[in-house]
């Protein structure tokens, strides 16, 4: 194996580490963002519940006030009973009192239902608040971990980029371009070993896509320190030490 191919293989090792590091950083970012979205959603839902609670409380208070007003009306009607001059008038007032009482009973039922609903929403608000606190804790710890890792990751990235650039100096520009272009399609893995499947039949294949590689290509790779792309997946082929 010639120095160019060897350098490319070293470069691929660095690329592997770079991609893994960037993937890990991106994954951490994604979890922080997901947790942030979850928190925001919970906060919005809780705010809606609080609004709902406020409305229900205002509704209950206004109905309770109505009941009080009606009760005081009944009080007045009772006094009127004592001063009724005719039987007809007396009966009319009594009938009004009974009808008002029926109304009050109906309204009291509604208030009772509202109060039950208020208790329920209040419970839900409390539970949602607990969930918000837990989500916030989780978000804080994810952010702390992210910040703790940041300095080390940046250092590692810088070191790998530096190694990469040193190594790149020893590779012809056109080869490097090709390596980078192909690598973009395969998460930095531009190189593929040629593997010998059947020694008797001299059958070779590309380890990237498993398609056959001709003996001419193998001969080329054995004799030259140049790149040859797999005709199927375009990866840059090389012969591992055993086969070269």
Q: Which residues bind Zn ion (CB under 5 A)?
A: 206, 208-209, 230, 232-233
Beta bridge partners of 60: none
By C-beta, is 42 or 190 nearer to Zn ion?
190
Residue 203, SS3 per DSSP: strand
By C-beta, is 56 or 230 nearer to Zn ion?
230
Minimum distance of Zn ion from residue 222's CB (angstroms)? 18
With a CB cutoff of 8 Å and minimum separation 6, the contacts of 110 are 63
With a CB cutoff of 8 Å and minimum separation 6, the contacts of 83 are none
Minimum distance of Zn ion from residue 206's CB (angstroms)? 3
Cα angle 208-22-149, degrees, rounded to a multiple of 5: 145
By C-beta, is 175 or 194 nearer to Zn ion?
194
The DSSP secondary-structure symbol of 233 reads T
Minimum distance of Zn ion from residue 14's CB (angstroms)? 22
With a CB cutoff of 8 Å and minimum separation 6, the contacts of 144 are none
Minimum distance of Zn ion from residue 208's CB (angstroms)? 4
By C-beta, is 188 or 208 nearer to Zn ion?
208
Other residues' Cβ atoms within 10 Å of the Cβ of residue 149: 14
| CA–CA distance, 3 with 5 (Å, rounded to integer) | 6
By C-beta, is 43 or 232 nearer to Zn ion?
232
Minimum distance of Zn ion from residue 228's CB (angstroms)? 11
Let me know: does 67 contact 107? Beta carbons within 8 Å. Answer: yes
Minimum distance of Zn ion from residue 186's CB (angstroms)? 10
Cα angle 181-20-189, degrees, rounded to a multiple of 5: 30
By C-beta, is 22 or 228 nearer to Zn ion?
228
């Amino acid at each position: 194996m010639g120095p160019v191919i060897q350098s490319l293989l070293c470069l691929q090792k660095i690329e592997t580490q770079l991609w893994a590091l960037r993937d890990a950083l991106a994954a951490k970012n994604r979890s922080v963002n997901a947790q942030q979205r979850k928190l925001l959603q919970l906060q919005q839902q809780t705010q809606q519940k609080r609004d709902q609670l406020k409305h229900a409380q205002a509704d209950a208070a206004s109905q309770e006030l109505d009941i009080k007003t009606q009760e005081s009306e009944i009080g007045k009607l009772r006094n009127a009973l004592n001063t009724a001059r005719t039987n007809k008038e007396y009966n009319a007032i009594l009938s009004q009192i009974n009808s008002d009482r029926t109304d009050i009973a109906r309204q009291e039922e509604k208030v009772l239902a509202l109060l039950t609903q208020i208790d329920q929403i209040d419970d839900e608000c409390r539970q949602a608040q607990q969930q918000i606190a837990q989500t916030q804790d989780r978000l804080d710890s994810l952010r702390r971990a992210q910040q703790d890792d940041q300095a080390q990751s940046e250092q590692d990235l810088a070191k790998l980029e530096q190694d990469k650039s040193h190594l790149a100096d020893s590779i012809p520009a056109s080869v490097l371009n090709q390596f980078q272009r192909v690598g973009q399609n395969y998460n930095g893995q531009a190189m593929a070993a040629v593997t010998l499947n059947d020694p008797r039949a001299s059958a070779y294949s590309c380890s990237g896509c498993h398609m056959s590689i001709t003996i001419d290509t193998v001969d080329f790779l054995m004799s030259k320190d140049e790149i040859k792309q797999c005709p199927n997946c375009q990866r840059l082929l090389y012969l591992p030490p055993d086969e070269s």
